[in-house]
Amino acid sequence: MKTALVCGVSGQDGAYLAKLLLDKGYKVYGGSRDAQMSTFRNLNRLGIQQDVHLVSINIHDFRSVLQSLLKIRPDEVYNLAGQSSVGLSFDQPVETLESISVGTLNLLESIRFSELPIRFYNAGSSECFGDTGATAADENTPFRPRSPYGVAKAAAFWQVANYREAYQLHASTGILFNHESPLRPERFVTQKIVSTARRIANGSQEKLTLGNIDIARDWGWAPDYIEAMWLMLQQDQADDYVIATGQTNKLRDFIDVVFGTLGLQWEDHVRSDSTLFRPTDIAEGHANPQKALRNLNWEAKHKMEEVAKLMVTMSKS
């Protein structure tokens, strides 16, 4: 039986990853800053909280991380922790940088110091690329991040690459484009759209107020992307991979599918407010995930339209 430690197990990706690993027969430890106080709502929604060994780990604290690794002795460590909202990063840039880059560094250094044969996965982000226009980003596309979140993720990416090359750690980064599910909190725009649309369909007279609805993104289904994370750590050689559907759609198209699924015309219920625009934003996000298909035999099973419909039908009323 393999043992895995999932840092950030309470989030969307952490919960789905814990379920995948349990289904594959792993002993799963779920790390949270305070496991005694966290509700682990997502683990409960998936019905797996009782099967995950919950542990308190503060990845800001090198000693906490090292002690946890020496005690658990995991075969695989997945770093999904840290501040996860692009929008919030403009309000909390210091917290964002520290939680992502320092946390990743503590994990890498603890693995190196422990001398355990741990395979390490780091959650990267398409935000590292910034605005590539109509060019589809791949693993060789330069980073030009346009948010504090993107800057932090870029720093963590290069830390992983450095430890892989300098210390021969089996350390990989998945450069994930947007991936959604009903486990998303409402501060993410896709869940805000779904939650508001469902309330309107149930009789609410409210309006859905959004920022720029002409941005375009590559939206995928989170459970698909979790499988790619696992596959990276099963390879003989560690490497970095762009994980995406390869299809890009405007936010207004996502809105249209959500409201249409509920029998509504979105134009009657949605307005755009320029005060909600970000200081800097990415107009379009395009991805080339061919390396993942070639090396991991992975490709996204769900594209944007199906993702939007699943979020509506699977979300709680």
Q: What amino acid positions are annotated as catalytic residues?
A: 125, 127, 149
Nearest to 303 by CA among 125, 128, 178, 212: 178
Distance CA 182, CA 10 (A): 14
- Residue 272's SS3 state is strand
Inter-residue contact 308 to 189 (CB < 8 Å)? no
Q: Which residue has the tokens 């099963």?
A: 234
Handedness of CA 136, 140, 146, 150 (dihedral sign): positive
Inter-residue contact 146 to 89 (CB < 8 Å)? no
Q: How far is CA 108 from CA 59, 153, 163, 210, in A?
A: 11, 15, 7, 38
Handedness of CA 198, 17, 123, 141 (dihedral sign): negative
Nearest to 240 by CA among 115, 137, 167, 101: 137
Query: CA 118, 124, 130: angle at the middle one, nearest 5?
Result: 160
Nearest to 2 by CA among 154, 282, 250, 230: 230
Inter-residue contact 298 to 227 (CB < 8 Å)? yes
